[in-house]
Structure formats: structure tokens, C-alpha cells
Amino acid sequence: MEHDWSTLALAMIGAFSLGVAKTGFPGLAILNVILLAELFGARQSAGIILPLLVVCDLLVYPAFRRYSSWKKALWPLLPPTLIGVAMGYLVLRHIDNATARPLIGWIVLFMLALQLLREWKGDWLAHLPNSLRFAWFSGGLIGIATTVANAAGPIFSIHSLVSHWPKEEFLGRGARFFLLVNVLKIPFLGHLDLVNAGSLMIDAILLPALLGGLVLGRFLIHRVRQRTFEVLLYLFSAVSGLYMVCGNAVIAAIKSFAA
């Protein structure tokens, strides 16, 4: 699998944004999803991104392990997430990401609207943080989104906002949760031949940019206040959802205009 250096340079920008995203700014990962999908194709990009995510998780977990615990990170989200991963695998076998991405975008926007309504109405839907049904709903969506488009970050962010997790709790739970989930995804994408020797070669080239993003993100996250952090999660989630819903149409219009 050979690519010119202009393609790899753009991919490095995506990998850098992924590194920053994994240290606590999850919405930034959408830039990585966008760039790699455009450069390598939607399905193939899923196989390229997954090993990068695992590397991030292995490096981020030690940095944030003192926050939260494995029990809090895995229950009750993990069981429905694993079901969602299996469902996402079946979806990925029969449709491409271009078909599934708008659906995931609408899900992100729906959950964002739900949280904003909770803040606006005060006690409205105040039971959500303690609702097992909401946790299963969120977990199932996270599993589908992470398998089909590596786009679970915004959904996880909205779930954390609804649940009123402090910034440190969000980082500690997310580091544990996605480390396990992403490792468990490898056999599924490997079976679809999306993780292969060619994709791993590209990952090796992108690794320095990924590590640079992790260093910058780690520097920034400890300098961001809780409320600023929450506002950034809202903003990144909204942009991510909107792009998934209408990004392809915008890109098509730009290409048509340029032609």
C-alpha cells in the first residue's frame, strides 16, 4: 500500500488531532476521522485508526489511572457497549460508513439536545444520571458508533455531561473504558481485513504525529477549568454531530463548485 507524501502529511495532521483528542478533548478526533476517511476511504480508515486508538489508550491510561476505578468505568456501560460492538460489526459488513455516519450524527445531536434541555429545564429528566435504561441506551450507541465510524467520543462526552462527571472522573473512566473496548474491537475489524499489514504500515508512519498530539493534549488538559471543559465538550460534540449529518453534502457542493 503506497501513498504519496502529501497524503501522508494530511494523515499526520489527523493523527496529531487524535492524540490531542485522547487526552480529554474527544470532539477533536472527528478531524482525524474526516481526513483519513477522505484519504483512504471510509471502511479502510476504520482499520487504520483502530491501532492508533489502542496506542493512545495504552499511553493515556497510566497518566489518568489515579482518577476513577475499573468498576465505575465498566459498569453499567460495558455490557451494552459490547452488544453495540457486535451490532456495529454486522452493520459494517453490509453498509459503508457513508451510510451509517449520518445516523450516528443524529444520535450525537439528539443526546446533546437532551442534555441541553436538562440544563435549561432544571429538574426535567433529572432521573437520567441514575437511570439504568439510559446507561444501556448510551452504551449500545457507543458500541455501534465506535465500530462503524470510530466516532463514539461525542456520545461518551454527552453521557458524561448528563451524569455530571467532573473532568478528572471523565478522564479516568474514559481511559479505562476505551482501552478495553478498542482492544476488543481488533478481532472484529481484523476479520473484515480492515486491520492488516498495509494499514499497520501506515500506522507506523503516523505514530510520531500521534505522540506529538498526546504531549500537547496532556499539557493543555490540566490548564482547562471544569466549566470551560464542559463548554468545549458541548462545542466539539455539536460540530462532530453536524459534520456527520451533513458533511458529505458540504464536501460534494465544494467539489462541484470547484469543478
pLDDT score at 83: 95
Q: At what angle do helices 226-258 and 153-162 cross, to 10 degrees?
A: 150
DSSP-assigned letter for residue 196: S
Cα–Cα distance for residue pair 66/62, rounded to 1 Å:
8
pLDDT by 10-residue block (mean), the chain, 259 residues: 78 91 75 79 83 91 84 86 90 71 71 66 60 86 83 78 81 88 90 90 94 90 74 74 72 58
pTM of the model: 0.77
Q: Could you write out the DSSP letters of every residue in 51-114?
A: HHHHHHHHHHHHHHTTSS-HHHHHTTTHHHHHHHHHHHHHHHHHS-HHHHHHHHHHHHHHHHHH
pLDDT score at 203: 94
Q: Terminus-to-terminus CA distance in the chain, angstroms?
A: 29
Cα–Cα distance for residue pair 201/248, rounded to 1 Å:
28
